[in-house]
Amino acid sequence: MLGFSIPKLLLLFIILLTVWSIFKFFENKAKGKVEKEKKNQFDHELLTECSVCGGYYDKSINNKCPMCAETFKK
């Protein structure tokens, strides 16, 4: 009854594989949420430092610093 047999080992292997697959699925699902959150944040490499005020702005959106542009309008 407590001895090892091929069907018992095969069943154990299938159970372990199933549990491992379930954990892997939830791990990938959680990783996808983290990557989406990171994509929504600004990328520090895209930020450019303004030579006038020293602030940082996204050069792909604006060609000029938005803080300096508003200051010079007044």
| pLDDT > 90 fraction of the chain, expressed in percent and rounded | 28
Environment class of 56 (CB within 10 Å of its CB; exposed 0-12, middle 13-18, buried 19+): middle
For the chain, domain boundaries = 1-41, 43-74
CA distances from 25 to 3, 12, 32, 35 (A): 33, 20, 11, 15
Query: 32-57, pLDDT tens digit by residue?
Result: 777 666 665 655 567 778 888 888 87
Q: What is the pTM of this model?
A: 0.44
For the cut 60, the answer to whether the pLDDT of residue 3 exceeds it is yes
Q: Give me the pLDDT at residue 11, please.
A: 94
| pLDDT > 70 fraction of the chain, expressed in percent and rounded | 72
Highest averaged pLDDT of the listed ranges 22-26, 44-48, 58-62, 63-67: 22-26
